[in-house]
Amino acid sequence: MTPTLEILIPVKNPDERLVQTAASLAAQSDRSFAVRLSDNCSQTGAEHIENAARQLTAAGITVHLTKTSREIKRLEHRNLIHSEAQADWLKLVHAGDILQTSYVEQLRRRIVEQPQAALIRCDAELQTEWGSDTARAPFKEPRITAARVADYFPASVVWLSHAANIAYSRLAWLEAGGYSNHLPGFASLNLNLTLALHHGVENIAAPLVRVESADRLPLNESAGERVNLPLELWLILRQARNYCLAAKVHWHCRWPWWRATTARMGSW
Amino acid sequence: MKTLEIILPVRNPTEVLAQTAGSIAGQTDRGFSVLISDNHSTKGGEWIDSATNEFQKAGISVRRIKPPAELGRVEHWNWVHHQTQGEWLKPIFAGDWLELNYVSRLRAASAANPACRYIFACYTLHRLNEAPELVSSPWVGRFYPPAEMTTKVLRYGMQFGPPSAAAYERTAFFEAGGYPTPLPICSDSLLFCSMASRYGVFGLADPLCNFNIHGARFSTGLGEKKKFTFQETITYLWLLGYQAWSERTPFSKGMFLKMLLREVRNYRRAIKAK
């Protein structure tokens, strides 16, 4: 049976970028997926949610519209929308992220070709303050095992730090538990690394996603929050090393964390 | 409290499961269901069958499930939570047991404190060849709201007992991100401290749970893993402190530092004693 795919879009006070994201989904060459659009008690932008849902439905895509019972934090909302999803594979997309028309087709092909895969990334085109940049994997192979993840991380951080260019099996996500609310700046990196150290990484070496995140830090709260990315990275490395020692996964990283923080971190 | 589901994750259970099942089947309030998840056991199937029969005989709705593949210990806990249907969840492990009025006390506490999403109970600790030890907590008897608990957690750390002493709202567990798998020893400590500081907590003062460090248990080997336990403890305390700093929650940095130093001192003492 073909694995099912669900694209998850958590929104809060969305603007017209949501409609652009929906348009990129509606334009997919393979539309055999569902979209779960979860509204975190928005006060504005209801019309954009309606427009996005209408656009997707018109393209023949099943849309599940849900609403949280009360306003929750950004990462809690991400976790909640994942827990509601039912498909075999999940992909988180934020308003403003654009998927190239062949994204779903290529993702599905890789899922079918590699049924043991649990985490699939692709390259991402990043819209930064200094122009466009591409987050590529630091290896050429189509996949690396969990034991080899430490060969490339934290020497390079950006290839694993975004949510938009990552898809994972629902089972892998359920095992991991979800996004850590303790790391508002690097929650995606933490989850992606956890999954990579459990299952290895499948890589599609093509920029199939455009991430528009240059103007906003992905914080856990809408206002008043602050982050210390070097400290978050240090905590992530401590956890990663700890997991590897406990699970007897090879962890040979001797890269000092303060040097890792000077490595490129994408749009940050 | 709306619906309650008791979660029983098992792997290669031994005869200690019988006591756990007996304590669940004997509850004075049986308005709950049970979910048994077998993580691909290679032995002990007869104990799972026997527990299932006991629940059915007691008129308790029971489901038996199995993950699609063998999972890690903490990964299995996370997976089984997502297979539940109850609005409130209560994990318990093979070997632990509940006092017979646990469910009724839990239900009463939840009804009296509708804002509460996480309830723990004091418990009795049973170690091999040692007298039972009562473990209490200062945070019992009333609902401690999140604002109050954040400062307490960052001053005193984990004071809430193991998963077998806990019950929580299903959505609260999902929103919190489950048990963090990179910290296999302290994952419950981090989750419960996070839930207490995010949602507040109510503690049942009576020792209604029994935490049994039996031979087949993961915790039995922790004495030999002092270094790992210490490293994980420091990491999860830093995670809690960092989150509070990030969210601009007021807390005493001095007391937080003191708590970290206390952990260092305890670890050094334990190493010296060894």
Whole-structure pTM value: 0.91
For chain A, the residue count is 268
| Inter-chain residue contact B247 with A220, CB threshold 8 Å | yes
pLDDT at B57 over 50: yes
Side-chain half-sphere exposure of B188, counting CA atoms within 13 A? 18
Q: What is the pLDDT of residues A214-259, one digit of tens each?
A: 545 554 444 567 888 889 999 999 999 888 888 887 776 655 555 5
**pLDDT reported for residue B18:** 95
- Left, alpha or beta for A256 (phi > 0: left; psi -120 to 50: alpha)? beta
Contacts with A169 from chain B: Cβ below 8 Å: none
Whose CA is closest to B50, among B30, B68, B25? Answer: B25
pLDDT tens digit string along B229-258? 999 999 999 999 999 999 888 899 999 999
Domains (ranges, CATH) in chain B? 4-273 (3.90.550.10)
> In the prediction, which pLDDT does A222 show?
45
A192 and A119 Cβ atoms separated by less than 8 Å: yes
- A229 touching chain B per CB within 8 A: no
| Residue A143 tokens, joined | 């996949």
pLDDT for position A257: 54
3-state secondary structure at position A107: helix
In this complex, do A246 and B79 lie within 8 Å of one another by their Cβ atoms? no
Calpha distance B262→B260 (Å, rounded)? 5
Q: How many CB atoms lie within 10 A of CB B92?
A: 26
Reported as a pLDDT band with limits 50, 70 and 90, residue A142 is: very high
Of chain B, the end-to-end C-alpha distance in Å amounts to 46
Q: How confident is the model at residue B218 (pLDDT cuts 50, 70, 90)?
A: low
| Mean pLDDT computed over B19-32 | 94
Asked if residues B23 and B100 have their Cβ atoms less than 8 Å apart, the reply is: yes
Nearest chain B Cα to A246, which residue? Answer: B184
% residues pLDDT > 90 (chain B): 85
Residue B179 and residue A104: Cα distance in Å, rounded? 31
Average pLDDT over residues B76-105: 95
Contacting residues of A for B190, CB less than 8 Å apart? 182
Measure B149 CA to nearest chain A CA, in Å.
Answer: 16
Residue whose tokens read 């590897």: A244
Give, in order, the Cα–Cα distances in Å from A86 to each of A7, A17, A93.
11, 26, 16
Note the pLDDT of residue A224: 61
pLDDT at A101: 95
Q: What is the pLDDT of residue A245?
A: 83
Instruction: Say whether B175 and A179 touch across the interface (CB within 8 A).
Output: no
Q: For position B182, what pLDDT does the model report? A: 92
pLDDT tens figures, A157-209: 888 888 889 999 999 999 999 999 999 888 999 999 999 999 999 999 999 99
Q: What is the pLDDT of residue A263?
A: 47
What's the CA gap between A72 and B273, in Å, rounded?
46
Cα-based distances in Å from A265 to A159, A212, B13, B129, B246: 9, 15, 46, 54, 19
Give me the mean pLDDT over the A138-155 stretch. 90
Residue for token pair 């750390």: B157
Distance from CA of A197 to the nearest CA of B (A): 10
Tell the residue number behind the tokens 């099996």, with chain if given.
Answer: A169
Give the SS3 label for residue B217.
Answer: coil
Residues 82-101 of A with CB under 8 A from B: 82-83
The tokens for A261 are 């923080």
Domain boundaries, chain A: 1-98, 114-268
Can you tell me the ipTM of this complex? 0.91
What confidence category does residue A267 fall into, taking pLDDT thresholds of 50, 70 and 90? very low
Q: State the pLDDT at residue A259.
A: 54
* Largest CA-CA distance found in chain B, in angstroms, rounded: 55
CB distance B209 to B164 below 8 Å: yes
What is the DSSP-derived secondary structure letter of residue B63? Answer: E
Residue B214 pLDDT class (50, 70, 90 cuts): confident
- What's the rounded Cα separation, in Å, for the pair A171 and A197? 15
**Alpha-carbon gap, residue B35 to A230, rounded angstroms:** 42
Q: Mean pLDDT, to the nearest integer, of B35-46?
A: 95
The CATH class given to the A1-98 domain equals alpha beta
Beta strands per DSSP E along chain A: 5-11, 34-39, 62-67, 89-92, 98-99, 119-128, 131-135, 143-144, 166-169, 201-211
Say what the pLDDT of residue A254 is.
Answer: 58
Q: Do B175 and A238 lie within an 8 Å CB cutoff?
A: no
pLDDT digits (tens, 9 = 90+) for A85-105: 999 999 999 988 999 999 999
Q: In terms of Cα–Cα distance, which of B66, B46, B67, B244 is closest to B152?
A: B244
With contact defined as beta carbons under 8 Å apart, do B182 and A194 qualify?
yes
Tens digit of each residue's pLDDT (9 = 90 or more) over A30-83:
999 999 999 999 999 999 999 999 999 999 999 999 999 999 998 999 999 999
Choose the closest CB to B177 out of A177, A184, A198.
Answer: A177
Contact by Cβ (8 Å): A165, A125: no
Q: Identify the pLDDT of residue A265.
A: 45
Whether the per-residue pLDDT at A27 is higher than 80: the answer is yes
